[in-house]
Amino acid sequence: MAKDPIRVLVTGAAGQIGYALVPMIARGVMLGVDQPVILHMLDIPPAAEALNGVKMELIDAAFPLLKGVVATTDVVEACTGVNIAVMVGGFPRKEGMERKDVMSKNVSIYKSQASALEKHAAANCKVLVVANPANTNALILKEFAPSISEKNITCLTRLDHNRALGQISERLNVQVSDVKNVIIWGNHSSTQYPDVNHATVNTPAGKKPVRELVADDEWLNSEFITTVQQRGAAIIKARKLSSALSAASSACDHIRDWFLGTPEVEFPPIIVVDQDLSNGHTPFSNMF
């Protein structure tokens, strides 16, 4: 029996991450190869022509799962009826900028989009905030979309998680799919803490702790941590552009595991906003 299409909103869809992300969604990378989708793409008026170009390419690609495309600069039209919202649009971080530098510029953007989701999105809409500062943007969205369950508003730590997996995989010369249960503590920022104390690797002899296999605590406690923390800045320095491909792939991973689940023995790398702001910070917690 054919499934009903799921409506997926991507904001900033004409940008780098959006351009990488929408074909992944249309191909089934995010929700599965048997799940039809209708893409809602939103961008600002100056990007309207480019957005229409993305729509034309989606049509030309003839994705069997893609049952419709809404390409618009109107936030209400974009948010109407959506089941999933991937919030990619925001003021871009550039070389030399910290996330705090773009914070004030994103407040008005997220107020407007949150209000539209509050009024027009489908019930039980699930939201993933990608645009930096992701944690703060997620908090703003939560405040201005109070009817959306706080557990349905998440932000992207999966990119940091995947970066940590990649570093361990390269260090040990193992398949990245064999590395499990790395944890990212803290905000999606340079203050995060990649934690391998519970991480394991599937080997021919069974599961082995990462620390045992790496056998180099100095590397794990220094270079490994700073590499993961500073990976985004390193990519911006190398490309002169942000890490669009890996961010788009990680967003698909995040939503896929949220919708389809993970094995009980694996930690789901999803974070949600915690209501308790009494310590003066923006705390987050594991979702499950």
Q: Per-residue DSSP letters for 161-228? A: HHHHHHHHHHHHT--GGGEE--EEES-SSTT-EEE-TT-EEEETTEEEEHHHHH--HHHHHTHHHHHH
Task: Report the distance separating Cα 192 and Cα 163, nearest Å.
Answer: 12
pLDDT for 145: 95
Question: pLDDT by residue (tens digit) across 239-288?
Answer: 998 899 999 999 999 999 999 887 765 666 654 444 433 333 333 333 33
**Among residues 188, 198, 254, 281, which one is catalytic?**
188
pLDDT for 149: 94
| Active-site residue flag, 188 | yes
Is residue 181 annotated as involved in ligand binding? no
Q: Which residues of the chain have pLDDT under 70?
A: 92-95, 97-100, 102, 264-288
pLDDT for 286: 37
Is residue 199 annotated as involved in ligand binding? no
Are 21 and 52 spatial neighbours (Cβ–Cβ below 8 Å)? no
Pair type for strands 66-72 and 37-42: parallel
pLDDT for 96: 72
Is residue 101 annotated as involved in ligand binding? no
Q: What values do phi and psi take at 105, rounded to 5?
A: -70, -20
Is residue 99 annotated as involved in ligand binding? yes
Question: pLDDT by residue (tens digit) across 200-231?
Answer: 999 999 999 999 999 999 999 999 999 999 99
Q: What's the predicted TM-score (pTM) here?
A: 0.88
pLDDT for 285: 33
